[in-house]
Structure formats: structure tokens, C-alpha cells
Amino acid sequence: TAWWNCRKSRSEHGPCYTMPCTVLVRVPEARNLPVMDRQSESTDAFVEVRLGKDDDLRRSEVCRRSLNPVWETAEWFTFELDDDELQDEPLQVRVIDHDKISSHDVIGRVYVSLGPLLVGTTHSAPPILDGWFPIYDTLRGVRGEVRVVVKLEVLLDANRYRQSSAGVTFCASTSLPS
């Protein structure tokens, strides 16, 4: 193994560099949700957003009595993780019907891979994903759509020399490069 393979190989030497990332997620609206409350013929929807291995969970406010909820004050949920984790763990969005008396009912889920956002992170503008995704339930199929907006901020130069000295990366090798 030569010293120049250290940057290329993640399995043999572990990652030489990791890029800290800030992921901003916003869920502003959903549409065509199913009727979950027979009395009002509507749904009291909210969303739960999860990202990363430590199952960090964020939750929106409840939008009452609407099959097309709009979360007027939809906040940006902020997640801090490394690029390795961003590639391995999908963004999970659960759309849920709020119930006061009984337990909440899950309408469905959306899983979004954020790895493609890492392509082209050297540009000045942060990569953005903005679109409608089908809400899927394993028993009932597609149950509406939810709009998800994701911004990725990669700290490319944060602690650049973490595993090196003055920009030289040190790797173990059993032979000298020729």
C-alpha cells in the first residue's frame, strides 16, 4: 500500500478527511392527504423529521382540519453531521395525524437520499433540494405528497489538517514509494 492511496481508501485506512455538514430541512406543506377523522372529514397533520445515526428527531406544529396542510411558520430544522453519515443515512419524514384521545396515526413515510447533494459542493451557492415526494404507507400505498426542502452547507475547510501536520497526511505503509 502506497502513501498516495490513503486519500482514496476509506476501508483500509479509514477516512483521511471528513467534511462537517449542516443540513437544513423544511417541510412547508403537504397535499392530497387521506381523511383520518371521519367526523370532520379532515386530518390534523404534523411531520416528524429524522436524520443521522443518533436518531435526532424534529417535529412540526399541528395543522388542524386540512387535507392540504400548509405549515405557515415552517421552521428550518438543523442537523449537524459528517459527509460519511450524510451518505449512509437517508432523511426520514413521517407525516402523522394528531389525535387528542388515542395515539397518533402515521399517515405515511418518505425516505430521501441526500448523498447526491454532496456532488458539486465546491460551488459558492449551497446545494438545494426542493420537491414533492409521495407519502408511502406499506399497507395502503401512496397517501398524498409532502414538499421537502433541503439545504446543505458543507464546511470544506473546517479543520483541514485534522490528521496531518502542515498539510501532509501521514499514513502507515510497509514499503517506501518508488
Q: How confident is the model at residue 3 (pLDDT cuts 50, 70, 90)?
A: very low
Determine the Cα–Cα distance for residues 120 and 8; give it in Å rounded to an integer.
18
Higher pLDDT, 166 or 17: 17
- The answer on pLDDT for 10 being more than 70 is no
Q: E strands, 44-176, where?
A: 45-51, 56-59, 77-82, 91-97, 105-112, 128-137, 141-154, 164-165, 168-169
Q: How confident is the model at residue 178 (pLDDT cuts 50, 70, 90)?
A: low
Determine the Cα–Cα distance for residues 136 and 67; give it in Å rounded to an integer.
16
Judge whether 46 and 29 are in contact, CB under 8 Å.
no
Q: Which residues of 84-104 are buried (b: 16+ CB within 10 A; e: fewer)?
A: ebbeebebbbbbbbbeeeeeb
pLDDT digits (tens, 9 = 90+) for 114-139: 888 877 555 556 788 899 999 999 89
pLDDT at 135: 96
Q: What is the mean pLDDT of the chain?
A: 78
Judge whether 29 and 148 are in contact, CB under 8 Å.
no
pLDDT digits (tens, 9 = 90+) for 50-104: 998 767 789 999 999 999 999 987 789 999 888 778 888 899 999 999 988 888 9
Q: Is the pTM of this model over 0.85?
A: no
